[in-house]
Structure 1
Amino acid sequence: MKTQDFLSLITEHQDKALLFEYAPNKLVGANYHITEVKHITIDSVDCGAQTDSWKETIIQLWESPLDILNTKYMNAYKALAILKKVGTMKPYTLDAEVKFEYSNSNFHTAQLYVNDFEILNQNIIIKLGIEKTACKASDICGFAETVIDKVESCCTTESGCC
């Protein structure tokens, strides 16, 4: 989901509670806070010596131990107010992918993609997921996109990779 799409979604549903599902049927606690918004530029070189760059917006969610008894989720109106204030200080790249950084005692710290969302009663449920790593130079390195029984190293002198 792009940053603009997320901002539009919560603008359209400001009266609803904003919930985040970080794994199937597992919600970020109602005691969460938005503690940081990162405007990231990635400049990369892959194993095929190809360069790439892109931007991401990363919104950090943190469960406050001081609010552990809180059962009322933040509404989209409050989240939007926080994100608008951030945008006045550091403008968003609206076509940047939005991710959410989160962890708890049972879930490792991860930057999670938005896979989908659901409007259910008075809730917006943002369904997050982990993206698997992939070889971006698979065509150059000779890796098929399907599972291969025998994989030879792409990092040989003859391969043109690495």
Structure 2
Amino acid sequence: MDTSGKSISHTGDITLGRLLELTAANHDLPLVFSYEGRAIKSGYHVTEVKAGHFSALDCGANPEAWAEIFVQLWDVDERDRTHMTAGKFSAIVRKVSQHVRLPAEAKLTFEVSDGMRPMQLFCADEPSTSEGVLAVTLVPRAASCKPRDRWLAERSAEEVQCRGHSVSNACCE
């Protein structure tokens, strides 16, 4: 694990299993989420953890299916409270998993609200340790076109594999 204070990656889509792996490795550290350029308030609550199993057709009429875990964070201040530890967060998720199937490979979506503003959807970057906390940056979850995303991924893979060189796929024609 990188402890330099820099995020290992900026994928914006870690899985539940990866987050639990990192909270286990940093059990006693405060778990501090940040979004919109600021840290979540120290009295925040995990108000809900829910699993969704989705089936859909994308914009190219391709069938899609995926599991997604939603973690709802209530961004509030409460007197004398500090940020919960990574261990407490893990314990909450373990408690939920006794009643709800939470696939480790599921995509994570964070629902965040202060109770006044509408709920916002975020995905999480790879957590990092910095200044004695396990920090998780939440990034707005953007819409995407799955057929386009697949095409771009395939094109990128073709460029890397083309005759063992990193060049455009034009050389393979």
In the alignment, the residues of structure 2 paired with residue 55 and residue 116 of structure 1 have an alpha-carbon distance, to the nearest angstrom, of 19
* Identity %, equivalent residues: 26
What secondary structure sits across from 1:73 in the alignment?
A: coil
- Tell me which residue corresponds to 1:63: 75
Gaps of 5+ in 1: 140-162
Residue 54 of structure 2 aligns with which residue? Answer: 42
Number of matched residues?
136
Which residue among 35, 51, 57 is the counterpart of 1:22? 35
Task: Within 5 Å, give how 1:13-162 maps onto structure 2.
Answer: 13-24=26-37, 26-64=38-76, 67=78, 69-70=79-80, 72-104=82-114, 108-138=118-148
SS of the equivalent of 1:124 reads: strand
Distance 1:120 1:93 in 2: 28
Structure 2 length normalisation: TM-score?
0.71
Range with bigger deviation, 112-121 or 28-37:
112-121
Give the secondary-structure state (helix, strand or coil) at the position aligned to 1:101: strand
Give the Å deviation of 1:105.
Answer: 6.8
Any gaps of 5 or more consecutive residues in structure 2? 1-13, 150-173
TM-score of the superposed pair, with normalisation by structure 1: 0.75
1:148 aligned residue: none
Cα-Cα RMSD: 2.0
Distance change >3 Å, CA 37–CA 89, structure 1 → 2: same
Q: Which whole-Å CA distance do the structure 2 matches of 1:70 and 1:40 have between them? A: 35
Which amino acid is the alignment partner of residue 78 of structure 1? K
Q: Which has the higher helix share?
A: 2
